């Protein structure tokens, strides 16, 4: 029986992340393709993807930006602030998560994020602690999705003897969903609020 719901933040409880990147592209003139090439070059130089290092808290935001700026040959001024200015709440999913908490389901938020961005993303969700009893942020635990360890840590912190098989996981990225399924969770890939809510409801009904 499903006893817990585990939800991603960006792209599920917010508008799609690509919209924020496109807004920054328009402001800065730096295209997504240019950012992608800079990321690939920085990854080759460092031997690891700097975004992954940032999300694990292994490097600072400033170090991450410096690595990309070196490859781009221009600054990335005000990226975080502009990014979050164009990231909007997904109220349909936020309200649904609150409803699930009210039904007695255990609730956890599992996010790949950036340590320095915590005040910015939490400001988008002031009801965070009302809805989610556990919040696992990659930047503070040294692991990131889709690494199995971060899912296992989330289960440990959720407590109550909840097993992976008793969880529904909602994320907008398929490789994260695949990792959750490999551990035994039911995974729902978010494409729209209507679709995700229907899929979670179907999973809950099937588990009764």
- CATH number reported for the structural domain that contains residue 160 in this entry: 3.40.50.1000
* Pair 105, 189 in one domain: yes
* Pair 201, 109 in one domain: yes
* Pair 30, 99 in one domain: no
* Pair 100, 201 in one domain: yes
Q: Which of 77, 149, 80 is nearest to 113 (CA)?
A: 80
Of the residues 49, 64, 85, the one at which a domain ends = 85
Query: pLDDT at position 205, please?
Result: 97
Q: Which residues contact 155 (CB under 8 A, 6 or more apart)?
A: 162, 163, 164, 167
Query: pLDDT at position 45, please?
Result: 92
61, 54 Cβ separation under 8 angstroms: yes
Of the residues 85, 109, 131, the one at which a domain ends = 85
- When the pLDDT of each residue in the chain is averaged and rounded to a whole number, the result is 96
Range of the domain at 62: 17-85
Rounded Cα–Cα distance for residues 7 and 9 (Å): 7
Q: What is the mean pLDDT of residues 157-164?
A: 96
Of the residues 50, 67, 85, the one at which a domain ends = 85
| H or E stretch at 19 | helix 17-28
**Domain total in the chain:** 2
* Pair 100, 163 in one domain: yes
User: Per-residue confidence at 72, pLDDT binned at 50, 70, 90?
Assistant: very high
* Pair 97, 191 in one domain: yes
Residue 59 has pLDDT above 90, yes or no: yes
* Pair 146, 177 in one domain: yes
Query: pLDDT at position 86, please?
Result: 94
Question: Measured between alpha carbons, how far is residue 15 from residues 55, 76, 146 in Å?
Answer: 20, 22, 21
* Pair 76, 112 in one domain: no
Q: Which of 115, 88, 110 is nearest to 172 (CA)?
A: 110
Query: pLDDT at position 208, please?
Result: 86
SS3 14: strand
Q: What is the mean pLDDT of residues 65-93?
A: 95
91, 56 Cβ separation under 8 angstroms: no
* Pair 105, 60 in one domain: no
SS3 106: strand
* Pair 51, 136 in one domain: no
Q: What is the mean pLDDT of residues 144-148?
A: 98
* Pair 36, 130 in one domain: no
């Amino acid at each position: 029986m499903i006893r817990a719901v585990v939800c991603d933040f960006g792209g599920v409880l917010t508008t799609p992340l690509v919209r924020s990147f496109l807004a920054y592209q328009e402001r800065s003139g730096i295209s997504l393709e240019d950012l992608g090439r800079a990321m690939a070059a920085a990854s080759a130089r460092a031997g690891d993807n700097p975004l992954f290092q940032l999300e694990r808290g292994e490097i600072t935001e400033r170090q991450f930006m410096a690595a990309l700026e070196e490859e781009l040959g221009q600054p990335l001024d005000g990226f975080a602030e502009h990014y979050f200015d164009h990231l909007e709440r997904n109220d349909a999913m936020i309200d649904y998560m609150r409803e699930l908490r009210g039904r007695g389901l255990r609730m956890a938020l599992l996010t790949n994020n950036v340590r320095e961005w915590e005040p910015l993303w939490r400001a988008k969700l002031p009801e965070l602690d009302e809805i989610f009893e556990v919040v696992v942020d990659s930047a503070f635990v040294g692991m990131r999705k889709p690494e199995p360890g971060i899912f296992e840590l989330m289960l440990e912190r959720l407590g109550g003897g909840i097993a992976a098989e008793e969880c529904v996981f909602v994320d907008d990225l398929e490789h994260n969903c695949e990792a959750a399924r490999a551990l035994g969770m039911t995974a729902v890939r978010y494409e729209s609020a209507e679709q995700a809510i229907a899929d979670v409801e179907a999973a809950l009904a099937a588990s009764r």
